[in-house]
Structure 1
Amino acid sequence: MNRRDFLALTAAFPALAGMAPGKRYRVGVIGHTGRGNYGHGLDTMWKEVPGCEIVAVADADEAGLSAAKKKLGVDNVFRDYRAMLAKSAVDIVAVAPRFLEEHRDMAVAAAQAGARGIYMEKPFCRTPSEADEIVAACAKSGTRCAVAHRNRWHPALIHAKKLVDEGGIGRVLEVRCRGKEDARGGGLDLWVLGTHDLNLATFFTGPAVACTATMLNAGKPATPLDVVQGAEASGPLAGNELHARYETESGIPIFFDSIAKAGTPEVNFGLQIVGTKGFIDFRIDLPKFAHVVFGSPTLASDTPREWTPITSGGVGKPEPDGTLHQRLAGHILPALDLIAAIEENRPPLCSDKDGAMTVEMVCAAFASHRNNSARVALPLENRDHPLAGWK
């Protein structure tokens, strides 16, 4: 990474650039109680974002809407989010439900209504075709859309990427990812947790260009008879174990593996960038987010190797920002970056196109397995769900 690129990347991180919104933004929140609710605080977060005011909320569930009205302190409430978009003149729309089934419709409606910004719960949507529609709608309206893979806003990434680009861990050999591997092992783990991993991995490798994958059910290759409708409206899924390998634009492969009930979730969930002279470890959503271990990852050492932290202050530096984890976990930094993206007419650090890439990668794993684990190229030719209609 050259100095110009490094400075540009640094300027995009509001925690380091000292950015503050220059005017007030009207926020409309879309939730759906019983169908994904309000995600990971994507409703209440706006009460903490400088320059933002929640002016309306929509929830198709009457009891949920009543609770949201009280919790958010707004009187402008709607059972139909389309009515909210038509009548409330909002600048930013929070698409908050965790369930995927309505993400496309909600985001497209927000863009068509003229929203300047959208902040979406992850996963982005269910299929590449849905992702195509969201990206196209936002491009047509000029809407800036950010996806809540909040680790993409961690300032430690600046220093980790600089370390990689300057050869600090030698030649990068691969990126290895695992989900939480709780009861959601396999395809659901890939959707719900693995999208965090894949989104972060491609920040270092560039876009994925091909995939080979295998899904297993009780240790045997999954068949059409194993296909069920996944939890959280994730669409067709099969099996409780998944192993995928992605080729990327840079030539660095990304591996994702998930086995149901394979270990301690907090230990498993994350990724490692493995180089010839060390590796960088990321533990998704934990306060101690990134560490580097120097030395060959395969050669035995006579002395213990130190796990050196990578913080917003740099490699081996103590974290100088005592509120950083709170502002990341609470989505404050992503929200500030979305506002900056609107004002500066640029993509957010994790944009709709980044979200679309993770959807493409998830569906590519399913497509490969359906085709006897054959290599499938990205972008996928079939833009629908690969397991739909599998016989």
Structure 2
Amino acid sequence: MQVYDQSVTQMNRRSLLKSAAAGLAVQGFSSAAPRKWRVCVIGHTGHGDFGHGIDLVWKSIPGAELLAVADPVAEGAAKAAKRTGAARIYADYREMLRKEKPDLVSICPRWADQRVEMIEAVSGAGAHIFMEKPMARNLADADRIVAAAARNRVKVQLAHVMHASPYVRHAARLVENGEIGTLFEVRGRGKEDSRAGGEDLMTLGTHIMDLFRLFAGDPTSCQAHVTQDGADVNPSHARTPTEPVGRVAGNQVNATFAFPRGVHAHFSSMASPDPGGMRFGIHLYGSRGVIFVPIQIFPSGQPSILRSAEWMPTAQQGWEPVTLPDPVPPPSPLGVQHLSNVAMVEDLLEAVQTGREPMCSEVDGRWTIEMVTAVYQSHLSGRRVAFPLQDRRSGLE
């Protein structure tokens, strides 16, 4: 049975919620910290590639020297070096780590089937990590990643970039300051595109799980129901999705998580005739109103607030956009995720230098995988399951 230090996640959550900055995380930190950082990048063309801008983030980090990029596909390595400005190319990331001795490494592939080996190698080399999500294919892999980071005393930042959105940070402060009264419940929906159901839960639903914890704390239990075309799934329905991010099942998922202070959070994803992703986000329901936070990458993703105890708009009181105290910057030419990636790397660098945990550490990442695992455990067992999970398997293996 896993025993977690609850104070760590609670400290991180309080730090984020009470941050006074409305802009990107730790704005201005880099200019105050001129030290040089030796950086390497790991990708795999055709096998998760270089993620969502995880390789390009260093272009905007003062003091970062991009030494080399590793990719077993020669053409992909050459393109990555040109794109990032890396000085050298390697086919083997282990050789790169031995020769370059980096301070930090971007682990970029979206596919999670090489994640553990890469993280164990990078952390074993003493380098801190900025990595693509999801964290791991399964909970056993996530446990190995957490152990590797602890064993080698390195910091890990997982690119759950909603953490870095000023809109999310501002919404968290509104909840903390009682703008919607006492928080009662949270409802989240997946993107519900062609991956609706189990694949949506694992590929994009981890953003929802991450925000559940940000707003409500660490879950205490889960009860879930998973179906395929209306029939209960069983282990024979398990499959590996388009991208190998772990075993999944079902095209409809409904899961309820219990949290401290009586708060419950509900996740849903189902195949539908309008798979446009317009419902992808979370609603926060309080005694005096509702906040909707869409899952969109900053500078998109403006939340809305309904100041109504009845949770119903009226002629006098309707939905209002949540505005930030500072101007919203334009999108970066380096990609839709670039601003958020930069914020997360700046936060990682501050964590490295101060000893605190990053805003989305490997422990936070493991929680998202544990919550996904609990969904299948609960459904297959027909009962509510408690956290931390004693059985680290989902039942779909």
TM-score, normalised to structure 2's length? 0.88
Q: Is the 8 A contact 2:193 2:277 kept in 1?
A: no
Which blocks of at least 5 consecutive residues in structure 2 are unaligned?
A: 1-9
Moved more, 157-166 or 273-282: 157-166
Counterpart of 1:19?
Answer: 29
Counterpart of 2:123?
Answer: 111
Shift of 1:284: 1.2
Q: Is the 8 A contact 1:14 1:337 kept in 2?
A: no
CA distance in 1, matches of 2:394, 2:47: 20
- Secondary structure at the residue paired with 2:175? helix
User: Cα distance 1:82–1:359, how it changes in 2: closer, same or farther (>3 A)?
Assistant: same
User: Cα distance 1:170–1:233, how it changes in 2: closer, same or farther (>3 A)?
Assistant: same
User: Cα distance 1:344–1:157, how it changes in 2: closer, same or farther (>3 A)?
Assistant: same
Q: Is the 8 A contact 2:48 2:110 kept in 1?
A: yes
Counterpart of 2:7?
Answer: none
- Secondary structure at the residue paired with 2:282? strand
Counterpart code for 2:276: P
Shift of 1:263: 2.9
Q: Trace 1:141-290 onto structure 2 (pairs within 5 A).
A: 141-286=152-297, 287-290=300-303
Counterpart of 2:327?
Answer: 320
Counterpart code for 1:377: A
Q: Is the 8 A contact 1:55 1:74 kept in 2?
A: yes
User: Cα distance 1:350–1:222, how it changes in 2: closer, same or farther (>3 A)?
Assistant: same
Q: Is the 8 A contact 2:25 2:347 kept in 1?
A: no
Q: Trace 1:8-157 onto structure 2 (pairs within 5 A).
A: 9-10=19-20, 15=25, 18-20=28-30, 21-115=33-127, 117-157=128-168
Counterpart code for 1:281: F
Shift of 1:12: 11
Q: Is the 8 A contact 1:183 1:261 kept in 2?
A: no
User: Cα distance 1:85–1:384, how it changes in 2: closer, same or farther (>3 A)?
Assistant: farther
User: Cα distance 1:385–1:60, how it changes in 2: closer, same or farther (>3 A)?
Assistant: farther
- Secondary structure at the residue paired with 1:230? coil
Shift of 1:321: 3.7
Shift of 1:58: 1.0
Q: Is the 8 A contact 1:32 1:38 kept in 2?
A: yes
Shift of 1:16: 5.7
Counterpart of 1:294?
Answer: 307
CA distance in 2, matches of 1:305, 1:8: 28
Counterpart of 2:4?
Answer: none
- Secondary structure at the residue paired with 1:256? strand
Q: Trace 1:347-358 onto structure 2 (pairs within 5 A).
A: 347-358=357-368
Matched, 1:363 2:376: no
Counterpart code for 1:114: G
Say how many residue pairs are matched: 378
Shift of 1:366: 1.2
The percent identity for this pair of structures is 35
TM-score, normalised to structure 1's length? 0.90
Q: Is the 8 A contact 1:292 1:310 kept in 2?
A: no
User: Cα distance 1:13–1:207, how it changes in 2: closer, same or farther (>3 A)?
Assistant: farther
CA distance in 2, matches of 1:378, 1:265: 33
- Secondary structure at the residue paired with 2:42? strand
Q: Is the 8 A contact 2:39 2:104 kept in 1?
A: yes
Counterpart of 2:384?
Answer: 375
Q: Is the 8 A contact 2:239 2:249 kept in 1?
A: yes
Structure number having the greater strand percentage: 1
Moved more, 290-299 or 140-149: 290-299
User: Cα distance 1:202–1:260, how it changes in 2: closer, same or farther (>3 A)?
Assistant: same
User: Cα distance 1:173–1:386, how it changes in 2: closer, same or farther (>3 A)?
Assistant: same
User: Cα distance 1:285–1:296, how it changes in 2: closer, same or farther (>3 A)?
Assistant: same
User: Cα distance 1:300–1:42, how it changes in 2: closer, same or farther (>3 A)?
Assistant: closer
CA distance in 1, matches of 2:174, 2:22: 18
Instruction: Summarize deviations over 1:18-41 as a string: whole Å, max 9, x none.
Output: 312321211111111111101101
User: Cα distance 1:339–1:6, how it changes in 2: closer, same or farther (>3 A)?
Assistant: closer
CA RMSD of superposed structures (Å): 2.4
Q: Is the 8 A contact 1:14 1:336 kept in 2?
A: no
Q: Is the 8 A contact 2:202 2:248 kept in 1?
A: no
Instruction: Summarize deviations over 1:124-170 as a string: whole Å, max 9, x none.
Output: 11122211211121122221100001110123344322321232112
User: Cα distance 1:6–1:255, how it changes in 2: closer, same or farther (>3 A)?
Assistant: closer
Shift of 1:302: 3.7
User: Cα distance 1:261–1:99, how it changes in 2: closer, same or farther (>3 A)?
Assistant: farther
Q: Is the 8 A contact 1:154 1:328 kept in 2?
A: no
Instruction: Summarize deviations over 1:198-218 as a string: whole Å, max 9, x none.
Output: 101211100112111111111
Counterpart code for 1:221: D
Q: Is the 8 A contact 1:128 1:360 kept in 2?
A: yes
Counterpart of 1:316?
Answer: none
CA distance in 1, matches of 2:342, 2:331: 10
CA distance in 2, matches of 1:383, 1:6: 29
Shift of 1:7: 9.1
Counterpart of 1:334?
Answer: 344
Counterpart code for 1:35: H
Shift of 1:11: 6.8
Shift of 1:352: 0.9
Q: Is the 8 A contact 2:17 2:169 kept in 1?
A: no
